[in-house]
Amino acid sequence: MNIALKSPLTAEHDIPAYSPSGQECALFESAWVRQLPLLLKGPTGCGKTRFVAHMAARLGLPLATVSCHDDLAAADLTGRYLLKGGDTVWVDGPLTRAVREGGICYLDEIVEARKDVAVVLHPLTDDRRILPLERTGEVLEAPPGFMLVVSYNPGYQNLLKTLKPSTRQRFVAIEFDFLPRDREIAVVSEESGLDEARVAPLVDLAHRLRALKGHDLEEGVSTRLIVYCASLVDSGLSLRDAVIATMIEPLADEPDVKAALIEVADAIIR
pLDDT of amino acid 165? 87
State the pairing for strand pair 63-67/103-108.
Answer: parallel
pTM for the predicted model, two decimal places: 0.86
Q: Which amino acid is at 64?
A: A
Mean pLDDT, to the nearest integer, of 73-96?
92
Q: What is the pLDDT of residues 229-263, one digit of tens each?
A: 999 999 999 999 999 999 999 999 999 999 999 99
Indicate the pLDDT class of residue 6, thresholds 50, 70 and 90.
very low
21-173 topology per CATH: Rossmann fold (3.40.50)
- pLDDT, one tens digit per residue, over 105-151 is 999 999 999 989 999 999 999 999 999 999 999 999 999 999 999 99
* pLDDT single digits (tens) 43-73: 888 899 999 999 999 999 999 999 999 999 9
Element (H, E) at 203: helix 196-210
Identify the sign of the CA torsion 29, 31, 34, 38: negative
Mean pLDDT score across all residues of the chain: 90
pLDDT value at 266 more than 90? yes
Comparing 99-103, 166-170, 217-221, 256-260, the range with the smallest average pLDDT is: 217-221
Q: Which pLDDT does position 12 carry in this prediction? A: 57
pLDDT given at position 3: 37
Residue 4 scores a pLDDT above 50? no
What is the predicted pLDDT for the residue at 61?
Answer: 95
Task: Report the first-to-last Cα separation within the chain, whole angstroms.
Answer: 56
